[in-house]
Structure 1
Amino acid sequence: MSHPPPRSPKSYLSKALTFASRPLDMANPCLQGRKRRCGRPTTEVTEDLDLYLLEIAAGLFVQHGYAGTSIDQIARKACASKQTLYRRYPSKEALFIAVVTNLTGSVLRAMEETPLTNPLEELRHISRLMLDLTLRPDALGTYRILIADGHRHPSLQQQAVAAIGQPFHNNFVRLLKAAEQKGQINPGFANDTTARLLTGMITGWPMEDSLFGLDPLKTEQEKEAFFNEAWSFFLSAVGGKQPAPAAHAQEDAQV
């Protein structure tokens, strides 16, 4: 009897809300036959399974909240055993942190791989990515969970800050210091306060309105206009130089 080809899940939360909205169907084959495989799984299959489990967990966390989601529920939805989950994550808290870390992973990797040849331009690029990430429905769902359940689980907030907030902040400071060394901003601005002011200015108001259920930046044009104005304000404050728009347009056209 042949089995369907293995599932190739996309980035962990790209379909999280779709997964979360589907009813459990225990009559259907689970994980495209993976549970029936024998022998040691390949690295590719293991990575696909890891992403699939995070995808399922993310959808349920967003739908039911942290307190309303259990390891048993995630295992049943994924058609996997609880032991499969516990081998990867010793607790629900560890699983939730893995979900959130995976959400921000691509942006953090982009920050860490920045070549620093033009740190101010890289800072602009990363800031724009951060705005996009902040307004994603899955990210907003995660923020709501931390707000609603964080006071009952203090270590959850602490781990989220350590896994996500601090790495973001550290990379912003790193880019500011590199920009200062290259003379792209005035001396004295490559510090924690400047990094926090920049991220707050870029994401603070859009995130706050979005968390209240509003839609502050309805179109990509509105989002881009808001970002450009915030970035220009930041450059004026730190003595930076605004890149010529024509240069960006030409680069985008070549890509």
Structure 2
Amino acid sequence: MHQHDPDDSKVRKIRRAAERLFLRHGFGGVSTAALAREAGVSKETLYSRFPSKEAVLADVLAHLIPAGVPDTAATAQPGTWGDLERALRHLAYALHRALSRRQYIELARIVIAETPRLPEAGETFRRAVPEHALQITAELLAAGRKAGLVGDVDEMTAARMFVGPLVVHALMGVLLAAPREQETGPEPMDLDAHVDLFLRAVAKDAG
């Protein structure tokens, strides 16, 4: 995904305007002209920051994840089993908080509704939301493997095992919950049990 200057005020305006409009009208119901107008920028400015409406959606989705989550892989170099456990537990809790945010759930509902008509919306959702979490998890596992903590596993496959249930749990609150439950988000997930089970599966002496 294209990286924007975090100090670019125009990008922040476009992002906030897009979130408001997408939640109000759906992805397909928002034109780039309306988006530029809501953000208070010209269409030229909009296209200089984002090549397409799909790119704006990807940016909105990605920035619903707290800024601290992507730093995990950069700072965590697990040298002990405790280091790896703490890093994965921190990641699980941070990602769960992000996925359980009402804005994320409402945007997920919009994307799911739009996907049959606009397959690119679903593709954008899949790329933007779990991609960085999968990469973080795979990097943590690779570091753990190098330290002799993690067994001979395919890091990306194992990362999908870790991230997938967190994403599915959030989406279950959208797809299957009653309207009243949708207002509060999905039921809490036992994150500690999830992390413990995952660690047992990837440990060097597993099996």
- The interval holding the TM-score normalised by the smaller chain is 0.7 to 0.9
Question: What does residue range 1-255 of structure 1 map to in structure 2 within 5 Å?
Answer: 47-104=8-65, 106-107=67-68, 109-117=70-78, 118-185=83-150, 187-214=151-178, 215=181, 223=188, 226-239=190-203
The letter of the residue matching 1:230 is: H
1:64/1:107 CA distance change after superposition, 3 Å: farther
> Could you tell me how far apart the structure 2 residues matched to 1:90 and 1:176 are?
34
Which structure's CA Rg is the greater one?
A: 1
Deviation string 1:138-188 (CA, Å, 9 cap, x unpaired) is 111222232121233333433443444333222211111212232334x13
Q: Percent identity?
A: 26
Cα distance, 1:136 vs structure 2: 0.7
> Could you tell me how far apart the structure 2 residues matched to 1:103 and 1:81 are?
25
> Could you tell me how far apart the structure 2 residues matched to 1:213 and 1:68 are?
25
Length-normalised TM-score, structure 2: 0.75
Deviation string 1:87-113 (CA, Å, 9 cap, x unpaired) is 322322222222223323725532342
The letter of the residue matching 1:127 is: A
1:182/1:112 CA distance change after superposition, 3 Å: closer
User: Of the two structures, which has the highest relative contact order with CA contacts closer than 8 Å and spacing of 6 or more?
Assistant: 2
> Could you tell me how far apart the structure 1 residues matched to 2:39 and 2:131 are?
31
The letter of the residue matching 1:113 is: A
1:168/1:226 CA distance change after superposition, 3 Å: same
Cα distance, 1:198 vs structure 2: 1.7
* Kept in 1: contact 2:27–2:114 (CA 8 A): yes
* Kept in 2: contact 1:134–1:203 (CA 8 A): yes
* Kept in 1: contact 2:73–2:139 (CA 8 A): no
Unaligned runs of 5+ in 1: 1-42, 241-255
Length-normalised TM-score, structure 1: 0.63
Cα distance, 1:211 vs structure 2: 4.1
| Structure 2 equivalent of residue 19 of structure 1 | none
Q: CA RMSD in A?
A: 3.0
* Kept in 1: contact 2:88–2:195 (CA 8 A): no
> Could you tell me how far apart the structure 1 residues matched to 2:174 and 2:54 are?
25
* Kept in 2: contact 1:114–1:122 (CA 8 A): no
> Could you tell me how far apart the structure 2 residues matched to 1:90 and 1:195 are?
30
* Kept in 1: contact 2:61–2:125 (CA 8 A): yes
* Kept in 1: contact 2:130–2:163 (CA 8 A): no
Cα distance, 1:56 vs structure 2: 1.2
1:229/1:137 CA distance change after superposition, 3 Å: same
Deviation string 1:177-203 (CA, Å, 9 cap, x unpaired) is 212232334x13353332222223334
